[in-house]
Structure 1
Amino acid sequence: MSLMKHLTAATATIALTAGMAAAEPALIFDLGGKFDKSFNEAAYEGAQRWAKETGGTYKELEMQSEAQREQALRRLAESGANPVVMTGFAFGDVLAQVAPDFPDTKFAIIDMVVDQPNVKSVVFTEEQGSFLVGMMAAMASKTNTVGFIGGMDIPLIRKFACGYAQGVKAANPDATVIANMTGTTPAAWNDPVKGGELAKAQKSQGADVIYAAAGGTGLGVLQAAADEGILAVGVDSNQNHLQPGTVLTSMLKRVDNAVYAAFTEGTEMTAGVNVMDLAAGGVGYAMDDNNAALVSDEMKAAVEAASAAIIAGTTVVHDYMSDETCPALTF
């Protein structure tokens, strides 16, 4: 082959490769914004990790209201973003309507199951991680009373509360669990003032460790616990550093891993349900310099043993969402 033919062939190959550039993935955050220090921020960190490791870029979108869900999804799909990843159960109904209109686009939803051939549904066993931090809360409590403050009163958040209460009772059958939800609308995810008020009210009822599963509202719970001289438990992201020395631990929900995996799979993403449980590293609890002094060796040993038993299947934590009942807590 002549040199000219070689060069022509090489140029054609380069042009073809350029035309096949990978589609940009996209991430849509739920209400509360990407810097909520909790659920959305974990998703953001997963996307950022992917971008740093691959040098790739991605589109992102923060919604300002419920009404934007369908518009946001359609806009990203129409722009050629693939896959489109969204955080939060509230996208479920909209995604079920939109996904069939874009059969060549892959979608991933976190915290809801949407049965479509181009959708990956990522769910977590929040009850397992909550069980572990519940054990720690019970062992750290001096009053035998602990609290739970949820965001929006939905089955998913009752799942957190129920797992937590089971862990509390496993460590101390005589303990009392006080549970409150912040509200019944999406505004409940972003009301730190109300979170702080609920925390103070629970303290007045004897609670000296309070677990917040409430998005941005939880920041008010952590602040109030620090102000009142009691302990708090963070959620989703590692929140130990937000109030060092008064956050006992944080229940880690590895939304970052879910987003990172979805971006990594890209257009080859497989549809179906992906359960991120304790065994898969989907949930856990946070230990670092900020809470090391609060967690005794006895607490660590008890939680590690419980974790091994859950993974082995010898300890089964009841999932509130399986039948909307909770053996350890009355709502």
Structure 2
Amino acid sequence: MKKTTTKALFSGLAIAGTAALLAGCGAAPESSSTSGGQAASDYLPCMVSDAGGFDDKSFNQLGFEGMTQAADELGVEYKAVESAAETDYAANLQSLVDQGCNTIVTVGFLLAPAAAEAATANPDIEFVSIDDTVDLDFDGTTDAENIKPIIFDTAQAAFLAGYLSAGVTQTGVLGTFGGMNIPTVTIFMDGFAQGVDYYNETKGADVKVVGWDRAAEDGSFTGGFEANDGARQIAQGLIDQNADIILPVGGPIYQSAAAAIEDSGKEIALIGVDADVFETDPSVGSLLLTSILKGIDVGVYDAIMAAGGGDFDVTPFVGTLENEGVGLAAFHDWESKVPAELVTEVDELKAAIIAGELTVESYLAE
């Protein structure tokens, strides 16, 4: 079977667009069909969430919004299925295959094995994989010719967030934790730590990151993507180590971190991921220094619009700072607390990364 090559993955990309998103998990594995407007064709786009669900205020929600916007503009119906657990993925995909979906979007790294199996068994159906290249044998190629990956080198934006945080912290300690030790989570944590390291090198500073060890490629993880007491306890542990800025990576787990911050009575900032959490969840807006953005909705929207017009293209959508597929959100309520010279430095670092003068390491780097 023909495969998408690694070279195609990272070169010749004609992609543009940006937006914010989140990393999510979710509801019951029951299919629902919703009208996106007056049906103008037989084209049927579909989507399967990971265990976070479409109301995670993160990447599932952003993917869903991208699909519904495209379906509305195309004048077609869509089908969306939420997964409650990893064991639902294969069955949910099969249910959409059975319902005649033309394009099926899988949301999240953890759906890759089920997506590869479904795509291989159904070569006439178009698949879009968010956050994974579906290269399960690690040979540098996508495992089926009918899969379009939508992936994001968020380490670049996280690097900027780490440098920014190192310049804002008052305690000299920054904290991070994730849902699971998987590449789409740790790419944020590692990029963040690289930004702090760079700040220390250039400023002669000694800002510490707790919750992630670059050398060991391990750190603090909740084991899932639920806002629960376990996530709250990990956040509290970072606060107990004197962290005054915390980066939670894993959809709704930021809500547990926010609760721990509020209970502490201390001035501690939160960094959101995927979407501009200040906009998606105003209840934590006052805590947010910024958010590390992924243009998931834009990637999904573009893929569905192209497929609905008969122009489905398996060329990967790779979000970078250069094409604005990743970035930092505004500082909102924290704007007055960020020195102007630090903002200038972050802008200069962004330009240097785009120009190739500064390299941020990640598993997606060319």
TM-score, scaled relative to structure 1:
0.85
Q: How many pairs align?
A: 303
1:192·1:221 contact (CA, 8 Å) conserved in 2?
A: no
CA shift at 1:292, angstroms?
Answer: 2.9
Q: Does 1:237 align with 2:280?
A: no
Q: Does 1:202 align with 2:243?
A: no
C-alpha distance in 2 between matches for 1:55 and 1:250: 33
Please give the per-residue CA displacement for 1:47-103, whole angstroms capped at 9, x wherever unaligned.
233244444331111012222111111221221212111111111111111112211
Question: Quick one: higher RCO (CA 8 Å, sep 6+), 1 or 2?
Answer: 2
* Structure 1 pair 225–56 and aligned structure 2 pair: CA distance change class (3 A): farther
1:164-243 equivalences in 2 (<5 Å): 164-173=192-201, 174-179=206-211, 180-184=219-223, 188-228=224-264, 229=266, 230-240=268-278, 241-243=282-284
Which is helix-richer, 1 or 2? 1
C-alpha distance in 1 between matches for 2:122 and 2:260: 46
* Structure 1 pair 299–49 and aligned structure 2 pair: CA distance change class (3 A): farther
Please give the per-residue CA displacement for 1:211-234, whole angstroms capped at 9, x wherever unaligned.
111212122113322443311101
1:158·1:320 contact (CA, 8 Å) conserved in 2?
A: no
1:1-331 equivalences in 2 (<5 Å): 21-114=41-134, 115=142, 116-173=144-201, 174-179=206-211, 180-184=219-223, 188-228=224-264, 229=266, 230-240=268-278, 241-266=282-307, 267-287=310-330, 289-319=332-362
C-alpha distance in 1 between matches for 2:333 and 2:61: 20
Please give the per-residue CA displacement for 1:220-251, whole angstroms capped at 9, x wherever unaligned.
11332244331110111111234122210000
* Structure 1 pair 146–20 and aligned structure 2 pair: CA distance change class (3 A): closer
CA shift at 1:306, angstroms?
Answer: 0.9
What's the Cα RMSD here? 2.2
TM-score, scaled relative to structure 2:
0.77
CA shift at 1:20, angstroms?
Answer: 8.6
C-alpha distance in 1 between matches for 2:302 and 2:335: 30
2:39·2:77 contact (CA, 8 Å) conserved in 1?
A: no
Which has the higher mean CA deviation after the structures are superposed, 290-299 or 56-65? 290-299
C-alpha distance in 1 between matches for 2:39 and 2:232: 54
- Secondary structure of the structure 1 residue equivalent to 2:210: strand
Unaligned runs of 5+ in 1: 1-17, 323-331
Greater Cα radius of gyration, structure 1 or 2: 1
Letter in 2 for 1:248: L
> Which runs of at least 4 in structure 1 moved beyond 4 Å after TM superposition?
none
1:244·1:291 contact (CA, 8 Å) conserved in 2?
A: no
- Secondary structure of the structure 2 residue equivalent to 1:183: coil
2:58·2:251 contact (CA, 8 Å) conserved in 1?
A: yes
Which has the higher mean CA deviation after the structures are superposed, 68-77 or 240-249? 240-249
Which has the higher mean CA deviation after the structures are superposed, 54-63 or 132-141? 54-63
CA shift at 1:109, angstroms?
Answer: 0.3
Unaligned runs of 5+ in 2: 1-37, 135-141, 212-218
Identity fraction in percent: 31
C-alpha distance in 1 between matches for 2:39 and 2:348: 53
CA shift at 1:288, angstroms?
Answer: 5.7
